[in-house]
Structure 1
């Protein structure tokens, strides 16, 4: 290993000139023990190391009039830390004399976002819809390589929060309503990114499930709901992929701010889970840096004033220096993993062309076919015109806004571009009408909003009966795009967002009637970042495809599905309710008072998403795990290794492609557990696997392992995971409602799987939803 940055650059001021010390007598990170390096630090250096810096403005940014908060205090240690990569959103302190290199960080979950050209990858919900951990790992490798080759150290991704409510503003940035799917996909992403020698930051820990007053809201959650739903995905990712950092969230959990919560950061993360990475804050979180240090927050982002408070606290005895040193040790240990510390000679030339190809494929693989009457898709005849309706057909959303937006991505391929690239002919009258309308009605953009993806769009163009009938004379098929955007700092709205606007529903109805009158087909493409209402209009069109926001290659990826070049294999990672009022958290989201919630009580408990709909027999528009294909799959030969559970049970199932085209299927394993002691959901996802590309007539055997962890529920009064004695049912299906085969097995006696700490106990009683025994 290279001992420090001093050995990597020839233009640095010699140590003795800077500090009046002989560098040869100083401890060096990588050569000396971490304890020795800490002992060589001044108190000022220690305090500055646990308080990072944010985006540091240069003269160019100042001259452009940028207003960026939290700039380092001129002349401070943080101010002296060199900026190696312009646009890095944060960095740790560099201490050259001790060989301590800086860790430079960059947003975000859909690809690195800073001053250089990078790739906008499909959003998280698009990737989780693939249910393909290998493909997600491959995307992670591409992201990680861009971070590495641009000289950065740490990507602030992935986001791991649960889709508690479809109005969550950052659901596009998170994976699923289910903790197992979230955890496995998140672990795959981390593994892929970190395989390139750079770090990740799993975020936002924990219960940051809304944007409404996220800085101050207190999430009141039962111990069981926390352990089974909101902590579980993070636990899976931390244990299976060892991310370099874990980012604590803004909100409070059961009365204590997450970044000042000892139960959360130390008792659970360090003691229960054994995590050894850096625990850092989200930007500008928490109020008391001393309490943050005591709680086990290692790195406060991004300063610049907390170090002074920490110094004073140590001098006054309010903060023991040993506590400070322990936090520093975690930072130093993980600093030695970074490319800068290892002296990596980056190229500034990642393979963006290759990354775009992989992004295109992933975007298509994550699209979900909701409806396909009379085999409307794929569209085989490319010689006949497609009429494109909806502004999103011409200006397609590739991702969400905020820190999840990729600032300088490659060129956006809109849906119209992708279809043309694939050889389709586009009806010209509708094309010209939309082109003119969008140009004339798009508002002027604010530069800072545009940088973060908060791009103002033209309102949807109303389509008259006469116009639709004229276009139906000219075109063979209509493709209508419904577009949505959401992002950081604001949750979505019910009207004109979750629900379609009157113009959108009216357009679908008008266009469908006009085309159906001439025996022609209508396809709706949903260019969205999350769940929307479909029940009121889904019977009108012939086909519905959720394209999500599939990154910069959006149009090409949509065309790959529309043309049949790729057979859709995506499955929903979140349930689509019939109406918003059916959502279990609808009555208390985003908390009270509604205009600026101070508290949100998770009264639905463990009954999130399909756990609620299936248990309480509430109809959905489209269930969790649902998705159609251009072919058909048959499930057969379900086998369990034993009808009695001892240590584990092996499960195998044969999946066959009975259709006429090649395709992949996502096999989902659910378990129904005995409910004689504890109320439980009707079933829970406990495993999933995606087949290889099966040719017509080809089969594959899929295997699963069921161990005690998959049977256990959390008993709050015992602070333990326990597998209850009784009868269990293994259910194999194509969605949580489409169960193809099932078998039962028995567990003779209760098994204590794991005893954990008594932590995060709510301070108030929760009137929690329960499935009566």
Structure 2
């Protein structure tokens, strides 16, 4: 690290790394830089190097198997973690994930995602923290620190400007040097300098004409040179396109394998004189350094030894529940919450029963249990006081076979002989590389059959379908409904994973009866595939009832209860990796449901189950609105804690919520391959204020169950080139113990059009009992008062008077002082 003195342990590891590097020939070095399969690098026994294993995050550690048979703790979404505004809590989350990684034999977690919420339409919005680079950097630093304290590496991603999903493999994002520095690079810089991550993942997209896996200026000159990053740089999966371009651009590892632009192709390029072996050595050195840090290079002491030094055992369920309730953001409350003791409650919404606890795509993990809102409230409320109605079902397409299905995968060779079996709890097969059932090899495998029984929980017409490419035979209750081939014209190599199922049958079934089901797939692996992957899904949807009838039932339930709680949600077809959103509306008639329930019961509470902003056109018609994000496996229990008042909601908005029509930045679709960031440094609340637009709920907003009085603010007398501290005293003026997030914004007293009206400069969480006063001191770094000068290519302090605001939210300033820097 630049400015960081190596410790004796660091120096000892470097000596081992250099000795190991000296023992490798060119072909072996080139092979080490190419994945040996989907998730790992090859072992090199000749130097005492074990295989380095990576796994997707960021809310859990899936491991090398994409299966519910290998469960993982599922924490709330990154937007939820950021909503806590608590880097210490993010650090604890990281320590838990390190514990999970070690349990699963994983050395490197492919997380966190610290791209910004440039546009609310971003499909992967839920997987990133915030629209604000400072908040993102603080939460990300806590997360990285916690994971690496557990001896597990992180890869901060996706470097850089990977802020939307449309044409993500090919888009060229065109943005100014100033926007890059002040917004998109800023969280990466903060995390590199404050948390010293052991890895960075470079993105699919190009920046200003150069693909990120070949971007020497951003990777070698800024990330490594200017910031002093000394970890490994791994490509996003299938992002690397050029052997020479990648190694010259600073890419260390090309994933996945075994077919990549590295390996034999890299060794050949060196021998042909197209690149220098010294570049290969640099990449290998970075990989070996990572291996030494995580403890898989013989002779090198890992950064964290076990025992002693490994963190104490952390209860994953307890921490998941704590993060969820700390993340819930209460944006409106007209006295409806907490629900008074003895109130009867009507719980309404499909997502209240079948909770959506995480976002779709590579962030998927499989928890051992999921506590739905219905589960949580049933356990928390007195027996007989809770009723449930579906109200509206937002799901518009089929989903992986789940509830009521008992399935297994049967593998056969070309002669029909069974060569292996494996359970399939979710009806989804995702076998990557050599992750095959025991006894099965790719050479012998000719077909995979998902087979078992289905016991419907509702009578009526059930829809079945298939997600995947190739030849399939679908049979239900002895009748063959489909025998054919599914194909696609979509260029995305992950279409079998991110695409929608194709409906193939509608069958009338009776609740409680057992039916035989079978989906047989003929396995054909194209020779040009960079990895061997078998991926397909048996999809299903329960009978769809008349929408008006469902709403009528919900209205009757609401009218008969003291409090109505409606859970509304997005679906995997709305928020997921692989595509962006077209609008911010809730799907499936849920807005109509809320309005109908609110008309029947003035004491209506709406819980919003989405990872990112949605429009809330009825928000002023209901008594309370609680934003629940994707709350993780314990979300229902945490929700019950907050609704009943056992705990207060602790969250504050990490991103602005507003309508699509009012949102200042919505462009995510490239034109002729390019997406210009014409807004410059004005995204998020910076853009809302610049345009003079009023959002539904501003950045930093969130209510609790007590009140706070801001008493005093004091700023240390410093210059613009030294760090500043702001001390704020607040008093809990309410009737119960609570937590407040004190937010510090800085605003030039003489604003100019090229700078935001104000920006977040610091924050702190405080707790106090009723009547208690507490002080908190918040540091403001010199960067707070600097802008990037594209003429001199340096950070430049802007002198002058600044307003320092101590606030409850961006638009709720409680104390202001002016300081001349």
| TM-score bin (small chain) | 0.7 to 0.9
Q: Would the aligned equivalents of 1:387 and 1:478 in 2 still touch at CA under 8 Å?
A: yes
Matching residue within 269, 272, 287 for 1:316: 272
What CA distance in whole angstroms lies between the structure 2 residues aligned with 1:282 and 1:646?
Answer: 38
Q: Would the aligned equivalents of 2:349 and 2:390 in 1 still touch at CA under 8 Å?
A: no
Aligned to 2:283: 327
Q: Would the aligned equivalents of 2:345 and 2:387 in 1 still touch at CA under 8 Å?
A: no
Aligned to 2:338: 378
User: How far did residue 642 of structure 1 move?
Assistant: 2.5
What CA distance in whole angstroms lies between the structure 1 residues aligned with 2:591 and 2:631?
Answer: 24
What CA distance in whole angstroms lies between the structure 1 residues aligned with 2:755 and 2:51?
Answer: 48
Q: Would the aligned equivalents of 1:106 and 1:154 in 2 still touch at CA under 8 Å?
A: yes
What CA distance in whole angstroms lies between the structure 2 residues aligned with 1:335 and 1:472?
Answer: 58
**Structure 2 SS opposite 1:687:** strand
What CA distance in whole angstroms lies between the structure 2 residues aligned with 1:544 and 1:701?
Answer: 30
Per mean C-alpha deviation after superposition, the further-off stretch among 666-675 and 505-514 is: 666-675
What CA distance in whole angstroms lies between the structure 2 residues aligned with 1:124 and 1:453?
Answer: 27
Q: Would the aligned equivalents of 1:149 and 1:350 in 2 still touch at CA under 8 Å?
A: no
What CA distance in whole angstroms lies between the structure 2 residues aligned with 1:585 and 1:736?
Answer: 19
Matching residue within 592, 613, 623 for 2:671: 592
Q: Would the aligned equivalents of 1:387 and 1:426 in 2 still touch at CA under 8 Å?
A: no
What CA distance in whole angstroms lies between the structure 1 residues aligned with 2:191 and 2:758?
Answer: 23
Matching residue within 713, 733, 747 for 1:672: 747
What CA distance in whole angstroms lies between the structure 1 residues aligned with 2:654 and 2:270?
Answer: 48
Q: Would the aligned equivalents of 2:356 and 2:609 in 1 still touch at CA under 8 Å?
A: yes
What CA distance in whole angstroms lies between the structure 1 residues aligned with 2:721 and 2:552?
Answer: 69
User: How far did residue 217 of structure 1 move?
Assistant: 0.4
Aligned to 1:113: 62
User: How far did residue 719 of structure 1 move?
Assistant: 0.6
Matching residue within 625, 628, 631 for 1:544: 625
User: How far did residue 278 of structure 1 move?
Assistant: 0.5
Matching residue within 311, 319, 327 for 1:358: 319
Matching residue within 232, 240, 246 for 2:194: 240
Aligned to 2:396: none
Aligned to 1:128: 82
Say if 2:705 is the partner of 1:616.
Answer: no
What CA distance in whole angstroms lies between the structure 1 residues aligned with 2:390 and 2:227?
Answer: 58
What CA distance in whole angstroms lies between the structure 2 residues aligned with 1:677 and 1:510?
Answer: 47
Aligned to 1:49: 32
Aligned to 1:412: 370
**Structure 1 SS opposite 2:727:** strand
**Structure 2 spans left out of the alignment, 5+ residues:** 1-11, 394-455, 468-495, 499-534
Aligned to 1:72: none
User: TM-score if structure 2 supplies the norm length?
Assistant: 0.77
Aligned to 1:741: 815
Aligned to 2:328: 367
What CA distance in whole angstroms lies between the structure 2 residues aligned with 1:711 and 1:439?
Answer: 64
**Structure 2 SS opposite 1:745:** strand
What CA distance in whole angstroms lies between the structure 1 residues aligned with 2:752 and 2:352?
Answer: 53
Q: Deviations over 1:496-554 (max 9, x none)?
A: xx1134721211111111123xxxx11100010100112x2111111110011110001
Taking structure 1 as reference, are residues 712 and 249 closer, same or farther at Cα in structure 2, changes over 3 Å only? same
Q: Would the aligned equivalents of 1:674 and 1:724 in 2 still touch at CA under 8 Å?
A: no
What CA distance in whole angstroms lies between the structure 2 residues aligned with 1:334 and 1:246?
Answer: 12
**Structure 1 spans left out of the alignment, 5+ residues:** 1-28, 56-89, 748-773
Q: Would the aligned equivalents of 2:165 and 2:577 in 1 still touch at CA under 8 Å?
A: yes
Say if 2:462 is the partner of 1:462.
Answer: no
User: How far did residue 468 of structure 1 move?
Assistant: 4.4
Q: CA RMSD in A?
A: 2.8
Say if 2:580 is the partner of 1:514.
Answer: no
What CA distance in whole angstroms lies between the structure 1 residues aligned with 2:644 and 2:461?
Answer: 32
Q: Would the aligned equivalents of 1:400 and 1:487 in 2 still touch at CA under 8 Å?
A: yes
What CA distance in whole angstroms lies between the structure 2 residues aligned with 1:657 and 1:402?
Answer: 42
What CA distance in whole angstroms lies between the structure 1 residues aligned with 2:457 and 2:682?
Answer: 45
Matching residue within 716, 736, 739 for 2:790: 716
What CA distance in whole angstroms lies between the structure 2 residues aligned with 1:570 and 1:457?
Answer: 34
Aligned to 2:728: 653
User: How far did residue 484 of structure 1 move?
Assistant: 1.1
Taking structure 1 as reference, are residues 433 and 128 closer, same or farther at Cα in structure 2, changes over 3 Å only? closer
Matches within 5 A, 1:166-185: 166-185=120-139
User: How far did residue 679 of structure 1 move?
Assistant: 1.6
Aligned to 2:17: 34
What CA distance in whole angstroms lies between the structure 2 residues aligned with 1:31 and 1:653?
Answer: 45
Q: Larger RCO: Structure 1 or Structure 2 (Cα < 8 Å, ≥ 6 residues apart)?
A: 2
Q: Would the aligned equivalents of 1:386 and 1:425 in 2 still touch at CA under 8 Å?
A: no
Aligned to 2:237: 283
User: How far did residue 661 of structure 1 move?
Assistant: 1.0
Matches within 5 A, 1:203-214: 203-214=157-168
Taking structure 1 as reference, are residues 444 and 180 closer, same or farther at Cα in structure 2, changes over 3 Å only? farther
Matching residue within 764, 767, 779 for 1:705: 779
Q: Deviations over 1:380-436 (max 9, x none)?
A: 22x443112110111110100111011x31211110000011124566764488899
**Structure 1 SS opposite 2:362:** helix
What CA distance in whole angstroms lies between the structure 2 residues aligned with 1:172 and 1:549?
Answer: 8
Q: Deviations over 1:261-297 (max 9, x none)?
A: 1011101101111111101111001310211101111
Aligned to 2:8: none
Aligned to 1:687: 762
Aligned to 1:22: none
Taking structure 1 as reference, are residues 705 and 226 closer, same or farther at Cα in structure 2, changes over 3 Å only? same
What CA distance in whole angstroms lies between the structure 2 residues aligned with 1:234 and 1:427?
Answer: 49
What CA distance in whole angstroms lies between the structure 2 residues aligned with 1:672 and 1:345?
Answer: 48
What CA distance in whole angstroms lies between the structure 1 residues aligned with 2:217 and 2:230?
Answer: 16
What CA distance in whole angstroms lies between the structure 1 residues aligned with 2:555 and 2:389?
Answer: 15
Say if 2:612 is the partner of 1:530.
Answer: yes
What CA distance in whole angstroms lies between the structure 2 residues aligned with 1:487 and 1:453?
Answer: 17
Say if 2:552 is the partner of 1:603.
Answer: no
Aligned to 1:301: 255
Per mean C-alpha deviation after superposition, the further-off stretch among 110-119 and 443-452 is: 443-452
Say if 2:650 is the partner of 1:580.
Answer: no
Q: Deviations over 1:640-669 (max 9, x none)?
A: 222865634321110111001111011111
Structure 1: which 4+ aligned runs deviate by more than 6 Å?
A: 343-347, 349-353, 426-429, 432-439, 450-461
Aligned length: 666
Taking structure 1 as reference, are residues 648 and 202 closer, same or farther at Cα in structure 2, changes over 3 Å only? closer
Q: Would the aligned equivalents of 1:640 and 1:650 in 2 still touch at CA under 8 Å?
A: yes
Aligned to 1:731: 805
Taking structure 1 as reference, are residues 491 and 479 closer, same or farther at Cα in structure 2, changes over 3 Å only? same
**Structure 2 SS opposite 1:237:** helix
Q: Would the aligned equivalents of 1:420 and 1:426 in 2 still touch at CA under 8 Å?
A: no
Per mean C-alpha deviation after superposition, the further-off stretch among 149-158 and 364-373 is: 149-158
Taking structure 1 as reference, are residues 499 and 129 closer, same or farther at Cα in structure 2, changes over 3 Å only? same
Taking structure 1 as reference, are residues 468 and 397 closer, same or farther at Cα in structure 2, changes over 3 Å only? closer
Aligned to 2:46: 97
**Structure 1 SS opposite 2:817:** strand
Q: Return the structure number with greater helix share.
A: 1
What CA distance in whole angstroms lies between the structure 2 residues aligned with 1:239 and 1:404?
Answer: 26
What CA distance in whole angstroms lies between the structure 1 residues aligned with 2:287 and 2:107?
Answer: 13
Taking structure 1 as reference, are residues 661 and 163 closer, same or farther at Cα in structure 2, changes over 3 Å only? same
User: How far did residue 478 of structure 1 move?
Assistant: 1.0
User: How far did residue 118 of structure 1 move?
Assistant: 1.6
Q: Would the aligned equivalents of 1:666 and 1:688 in 2 still touch at CA under 8 Å?
A: yes
Taking structure 1 as reference, are residues 473 and 580 closer, same or farther at Cα in structure 2, changes over 3 Å only? closer
User: TM-score if structure 1 supplies the norm length?
Assistant: 0.82
